[in-house]
Amino acid sequence: MSKVYDLIIIGAGPAGMTAGVYAARKKLKTLIIAKDIGGQASWSSDIENYLGFSMITGPDLVKKFEDHLEEFKDDVELRLSISGVTKISKKAKNFSVVMGDGKKEEAKAIIIAGGKVPRDLGVKGEKEFLNKGVAYCAWCDGPLFKGKDVAIIGGGNSALDAALNISKLVKQIFIVNLTPELTGDPVMIDKVKALPHIRIMNDMEVVEIEGERLVEKIRIKSRDGGLQKDLPVSGVFIEVGSLPATEYLDGLVKLNKDNEIVIDEYNSTTQEGIYAAGDITTVVEKQIITAAGEGAKAAIQASIYLAKK
């Protein structure tokens, strides 16, 4: 029988790590379970709106969070689980948390701060060629495609940001966009349109990603079905937004139509004893600084709940 923690925090992004620090200061025996450290924040290039740092990179800020959390290691255990949490269930008194590898842990209260994951396209070849030409982080993987032709799938700000990010490295960029016009900020659209080696293909969708060992081409078609063609590319950057990582929570806590966890101003979910914080929730703004604040709020509320228990 493993021990029962006061609190299990799921996720080690800005919300989860801040919750960890606050929980430690309340002397709660805490376990953080996370797939990685930093979450989406560690993919950010330049952060210029986190107070105290006029400019810091995502990885550097995450390292500072991690170092800060490390000071509380007597109370907070941080465990990386590549398979992640797959189930939370309510038991008589506590909550049981199951990971993908079958391991189980138990706690009196839970904070869910698992953030968001990149949305996939769901087309043939996407999974097979992951890291073989298909990537979800242009900032991280773009340099590997220096001098090559690449496609960026999407037409919003993240797709435009990806195009600007890798434009100096690659030979030709095709933007394959599902809507009649690009949908990002006008300033970004103007910058992207001004790039010398860009081709914007509106009203088009990806049918399949193909290749032998690595990606060699993508097949695209017009949304009215009239046109189908192959684009020879070595890289495919999928930038079609992100989704809250809540698929394992259905039925346990209330989700909204976008599958975000519905919380109130106390970070309470619809299940007593389970709190949630950061990008995974219905909180309006998804920023690093707001996620950190939400993590603090959730941990304080969890400690109040545990004190009453």
Partner 1 sequence: MSDKKVILYTTPTCVFCKSVKEYFDDNKIKYETVDLVENRDRVQEMVDKSGQMGVPVIDAGGEIVVGFDKAKLDSIFAK
The residues binding partner 1 (CB under 8 A) are: 38, 42-43, 45, 58-59, 80, 131-133, 135, 139-144, 146-147, 169, 213-214
**Measured distance CA(266)–CA(299) in Å, rounded:** 10
Q: For partner 1, which is the closer residue by CB, 73 or 309?
A: 73
Q: For partner 1, which is the closer residue by CB, 103 or 223?
A: 103
Min dist. Cβ of residue 21 to partner 1 (A): 21
Min dist. Cβ of residue 143 to partner 1 (A): 4
Q: For partner 1, which is the closer residue by CB, 133 or 295?
A: 133
Min dist. Cβ of residue 8 to partner 1 (A): 21
CB 234 within 8 A of CB 150: yes
Min dist. Cβ of residue 309 to partner 1 (A): 36
Q: For partner 1, which is the closer residue by CB, 38 or 184?
A: 38
Q: For partner 1, which is the closer residue by CB, 146 or 309?
A: 146
Nearest to 260 by CA among 239, 279, 241, 275: 279
Min dist. Cβ of residue 162 to partner 1 (A): 12
